[in-house]
Amino acid sequence: MKSRLLALAATAPCALLPLPALAVERAEVVETYADIAEATYGDSLATARDLQMAVKALVAQPSEQTLAAARTAWIAARVPYQQSEAFRFGNPIVDDWEGKVNAWPLDEGLIDYVDPTHGGATEENDLATLNVIATPTFTLSGTEVDATEITPALISGTLHEADGIEANVASGYHAIEFLLWGQDLNGTEAGAGNRPFTDYASGGACTGGNCDRRGAYLLAATDLLVSDLEYMVAQWSEGGAAREAVSADPAAGLQAMLTGMGSLSYGEQAGERMKLGLMLNDPEEEHDCFSDNTHNSHYYDGLGIRNVYLGRYERVDGSRVEGPSLSDLVAEADTGLDEVLRGQLDTTLERLDALRTAAAEGMAYDQMLAPGNKRGEELIMGAVDALVTQTASIERATTALGLAKIEFEGSDSLDDPNAVFQ
């Protein structure tokens, strides 16, 4: 069916003629996008609930097995969530919320004990060694804080981004990751964080001190993650604000799609998350630095970008959500560009998959960041270059669809340059 539609579109001699009745409708493409967002956040929520169950089992009965099961559940929860990152830029509802669930990097000493040689107070953050798990009451920006009971409200309302510092990450996947794995003290050598299950043990078996408070923190942070994801699923469900925002004006919806793809590809993933870490040779500059799961996080980010373009998402249960796609639309406007972009998205995934292969063969992402690791540098820069390359095509797709937003004079601030100061 789809190929026939495309063939018809291709016969239209030029853009001045009305599009054939069977042409891909922009509104349908945006609907597919919202459906994929709903399914991706829905899967993120379902896997976070699995994580919640596993965490409860760990805290109730700490053992090697329950800790391993919780770690496995965390890694599984990252699969759909990372794919959802393609929805972040371009949708203010997502971008304003994202810091609650996926903020990174963090001064983890805010939450729990840290190795004195890894982390500690920094020039910019007095709270980098607060260790709230060991400190039931403390002063924050001049105010006495009662943290005797660790609740989701304490984490989200008081601790998260405390003192206005972004590195004070108290909630979300990475806070939970730290509580499950602990600090990775291996630098750019092999090995991830190695927190013992006895950090959650009761009585004399407890290691690391304050095991009951650590368990309470982990439970509260996981509850908070679940409720934050519930909120985002609702935003994309029928009648939800995020769905409405993109559906109300399909052109704006398409722009949100392309902005999300391009900003995640270039500034965020290629730049902030990959190239910067390499240029700093800093093993802390990896997205999942406690669990050494960064190769997967990067891969699923890349997959999420392709999902948006192809209008296709494979759910955690193996079923598919798909429909009329951005790719169909771009192909109508410029077949060659669509082919090039699809090829580039595939290349990016191959290069990101090469990171996963290397990790499976024993070279974790933080080892790739080591100074002088030429193979690691090649692997990372191969993916960075592919992401940068696809960004140019995403920009061209914006132009091909007539979505480039050229600003013209006429706004208040322009007609009266002093208006903004009044």
Is 396 near other proteins (CB under 8 A)?
yes
Q: Which residue has the tokens 């935003």?
A: 235
Phi-psi region of 202 (alpha: psi -120 to 50; beta: other; left: phi over 0): beta
Q: Which one of 11-19, 25-33, 118-126, 307-315 is the stretch in contact with other proteins (CB under 8 A)?
A: 118-126
The binder of other proteins chosen from 25, 268, 322, 346 (CB under 8 A): 268
CA atoms within 13 A of residue 337's CA, in its CB half-sphere: 21
Pair 297, 74: CB distance under 8 Å: no
CB atoms within 10 A of CB 140: 17
Rank residues 3 and 143 by Cβ distance to other proteins and give the closer one.
143
CA atoms within 13 A of residue 206's CA, in its CB half-sphere: 13
Pair 356, 299: CB distance under 8 Å: yes
Residues 161-180 that bind other proteins (CB under 8 A): 163-164, 167
Token pair in block for residue 263: 């900003």
State the nearest-atom distance from the C-beta of 228 to other proteins, in Å: 17
Angstrom CA distances, 268 to 124, 167, 261, stand at 23, 17, 10
Site string for other proteins, 59-98 (x = CB under 8 A): ------------------------------x---------
Task: Say how many residues touch other proteins, by CB under 8 A.
Answer: 52
Rank residues 20 and 267 by Cβ distance to other proteins and give the closer one.
267
Q: What dihedral angle (degrees, nearest 10) is formed by the CA atoms of 264, 96, 181, 79?
A: -50
The binder of other proteins chosen from 271, 316, 323, 356 (CB under 8 A): 271
The binder of other proteins chosen from 4, 117, 204, 408 (CB under 8 A): 408
Residues 315-374 that bind other proteins (CB under 8 A): 371-372
CA distance 334 to 10: 9
Q: Which residue has the tokens 């990475």?
A: 174
State the nearest-atom distance from the C-beta of 51 to other proteins, in Å: 24
Kindly list the residues in this chain that would bind other proteins in the complex (CB under 8 A). Answer: 89, 122-124, 141, 163-164, 167, 262-269, 271-273, 275-276, 278-282, 284, 371-372, 377-378, 381, 385, 391-392, 394-396, 399, 404-411, 413-414, 417, 420-421
